[in-house]
């Protein structure tokens, strides 16, 4: 049996750990609130852009744009959104596992696809796998603004336009609720099925529908990436909160068990002491 | 007096939402004034100031690109960034303008001139809007 002092040390250190995890849980909870608000603020923007894209695409004019045309696929890009740090439960591993399964299904060699990675965890993982990472963005703030992601979004869309790859899939954790996140796969480019969320009107185009698409489609694709990132961030904070909550619960359980054995050991020591005294007194007589 | 609802939305959230009597924006083809009852139109915007006339006052908002969607009773501006004059960080805009100018003047072969020029344009636009003249 471990000595009294050993047990006591373990209790103290477990208590300290649980204080930290509890604090982290609360921090994540408040970050989650902000992240949810950010995601909500973004909704009107993306809906509006989508409406306009849909009304142009479904309009009678035969306006077309390279970004809307499906071409034979020689190279695929995977845009994977992960977190920068750990301690988020299964958040990163779920995404990475899904991506790996899909890649193995679709491709036989590493030359057939490239990775665009957001978040350090994804970058580290794909580097270790020896895969071709074309672009990566790390150290994003907890509440990213559009300017933070603009660079990689612009490049992701640009490289599709200049033919570096012919389709783009996006992977991120969709925020369902504070305890549930879903790995989501979304085909980002080419933009083939854009559906209107509200009523569509028939517009005049100034100067022309093509010129509008020229501005609109990259903006739309970039905003989809940003939307996924916001969604992913909300999921990250939720996952981190859940992970920290279960860590705290586990620590509490551990402390209970340790306290019990501490008391047992203490009692055993007392009993032993009494026995020794009684034995000593008996020997005196 | 008839009014038109103007919404300015960016990925970081709505910036402006109000009734105005006239909206003037810089589109790709030139300045465009929009009044209530305008025919439904979509037009891309340049980097510039959007002027919103309301009764006797005019509010100016710095808009960086994006596009303008008009319906008879509602106009929406979707831009990647937009700021009201009061929200503009003047020091930051001046800093950005200086940086872009230095880049343009250095004439390095590996600078992206188009991007530096756009950055300068955005910074100048912000400074102009901040100072209240468009």
Q: What domains can be seen in chain A, in order of their start residue? A: 26-242 (3.40.1380.10)
pLDDT at B14: 85
Residues in B whose CB is inside 8 Å of some CB of A read 7, 9-14, 27-29, 32, 39-44, 65-67, 69, 71, 76, 78, 80-81
For residue B70, which of B31, B43, B30, B45 has the smallest C-alpha distance? Answer: B43
Question: What is the per-residue pLDDT for A280?
Answer: 93
Strand residues in chain A grouped as ranges (E): 76-81, 113-118, 133-137, 167-177, 180-189, 204-205
pLDDT of residue B125: 84
**pLDDT of res. A195:** 64
Q: Give the rounded distance of the alpha carbon of A171 from its chain centre.
A: 9
CA distance A148 to chain B (A): 11
Asked if residue B48 has pLDDT above 80, the reply is yes
Contact assessment for residue B69 and residue B76, using Cβ atoms and an 8 Å cutoff: yes
pLDDT of amino acid A62: 59
Q: What is the pTM of this model?
A: 0.82
Q: pLDDT band for position A140 (50/70/90)?
A: confident
Rounded Cα distance between A206 and A212, Å, is: 8
Class of domain B4-85: mainly beta
B15 neighbourhood in chain A, CB within 8 Å: none
Residue A140 CB coordination number (10 Å): 20
Shortest alpha-carbon distance between residue B69 and chain A (Å): 8
Pairing of strands A113-118, B74-78: unpaired
pLDDT band at A200 (very low <50, low <70, confident <90, very high): low
Mean pLDDT score, B35-42? 88
pLDDT for the residue numbered A193: 66
CATH superfamily for domain B90-131: ATP synthase delta/epsilon subunit, C-terminal domain (1.20.5.440)
Q: Which residue has the higher pLDDT, B109 or A207?
A: A207
Does ipTM exceed 0.90?
A: no
Confidence of residue A44 (pLDDT cuts 50, 70, 90): confident
Q: Would you kindly state where each structural domain of chain B is located, as residue ranges?
A: 4-85, 90-131
User: Which of B116, B1, B128, B106 is closest to B62 using CA atoms?
Assistant: B128
* Of B50, B42, B87, the residue nearest B67 (C-alpha): B42
Average pLDDT over residues A264-270: 93
State the best of B43, B71, B78, B115 to mutate against chain A, taking most chain A CBs within 10 Å: B78
| CB-based burial label for A166 (10 Å; 0-12, 13-18, 19+) | middle
Nearest CB to B42 within list A45, A46, A212: A212
DSSP result, A83-133: -SSS-STTHHHHHHHHHHHHHHHH-SSGGGEEEEEESHHHHHHHHHTT--E
A205 contacts B43? CB cut-off 8 A: yes
CA A75 to CA A145: how far, in whole Å?
Answer: 30
Size of the A and B interface in Cβ pairs below 8 Å = 83
Q: Region A225-248: what's the mean pLDDT? A: 92
Handedness of CA A247, A250, A251, A252 (dihedral sign): positive
The pLDDT assigned to A262 comes to 94
Q: How does pLDDT run across A49-96, given as a tens digit for each residue?
A: 888 887 777 664 556 777 877 888 888 999 999 999 888 888 999 999
- Summary mean pLDDT of chain A: 87
Mean pLDDT for A15-32 is 94
Distance (Å, rounded) from C-alpha B28 to C-alpha B128?
19
In the predicted model, what is the mean pLDDT of residues B63-76? 87
Q: Give residue A199's pLDDT.
A: 56
Q: Mean pLDDT throughout A216-234?
A: 88
User: At B118, is the pLDDT very low, low, confident or very high (cuts 50, 70, 90)?
Assistant: confident
Single out the residue of A215, A214, A229, A200 nearest to residue A50, CA to CA: A200
């Amino acid at each position: 049996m471990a000595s009294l002092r050993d047990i006591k040390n373990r209790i103290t250190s477990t208590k300290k750990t649980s204080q930290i995890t509890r604090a982290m849980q609360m921090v994540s909870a408040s970050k989650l609130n902000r992240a949810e608000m950010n995601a909500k603020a973004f909704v009107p923007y993306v809906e509006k852009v989508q409406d306009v894209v849909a009304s142009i695409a479904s309009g009678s004019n035969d306006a077309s744009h390279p970004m809307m045309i499906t071409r034979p696929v020689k190279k695929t890009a995977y845009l994977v959104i992960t977190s920068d740090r750990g301690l988020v439960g299964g958040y990163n591993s779920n995404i990475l596992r899904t991506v790996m399964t899909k890649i193995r299904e679709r491709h036989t060699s590493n030359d057939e696809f490239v990775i665009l990675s957001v978040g350090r965890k994804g970058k580290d993982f794909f580097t270790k796998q020896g895969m071709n990472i074309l672009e990566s963005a790390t150290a994003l703030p907890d509440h990213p603004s559009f300017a933070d992601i603009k660079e990689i979004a612009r490049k992701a869309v640009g490289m599709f336009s200049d033919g570096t790859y012919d389709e783009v899939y996006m992977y991120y954790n969709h925020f369902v609720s504070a305890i549930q996140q879903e790995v989501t796969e979304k085909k980002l480019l080419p933009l083939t099925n854009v559906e209107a969320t509200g009523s569509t009107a028939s517009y005049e185009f100034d100067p022309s529908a093509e010129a509008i698409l020229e501005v609109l489609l990259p903006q739309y694709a970039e905003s989809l990436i940003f939307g996924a990132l916001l969604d992913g961030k909300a999921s990250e904070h939720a996952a981190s909160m859940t992970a920290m909550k279960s860590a705290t619960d586990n620590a509490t359980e551990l402390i209970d068990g340790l306290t019990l054995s501490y008391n047992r050991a203490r009692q055993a020591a007392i009993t032993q002491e009494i026995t020794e005294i009684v034995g000593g007194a008996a020997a005196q007589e | 007096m008839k009014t038109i609802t103007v919404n300015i939305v960016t990925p970081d959230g709505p910036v402006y939402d109000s009734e105005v009597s006239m909206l003037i924006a810089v589109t790709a083809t030139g300045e465009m004034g929009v009044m209530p009852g305008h025919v439904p139109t979509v037009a891309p915007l340049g980097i510039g100031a959007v002027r919103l006339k309301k009764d006797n006052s005019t509010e100016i908002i710095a808009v960086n690109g994006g596009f303008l969607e008009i319906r008879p009773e509602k106009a929406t501006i979707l831009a990647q960034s937009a700021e009201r004059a009061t929200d503009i960080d003047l020091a930051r805009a001046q800093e950005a303008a200086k940086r872009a100018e230095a880049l343009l003047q250095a004439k390095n072969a590996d600078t992206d001139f188009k991007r530096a020029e756009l950055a300068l344009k955005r910074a100048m636009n912000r400074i102009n809007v901040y100072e209240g003249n468009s």
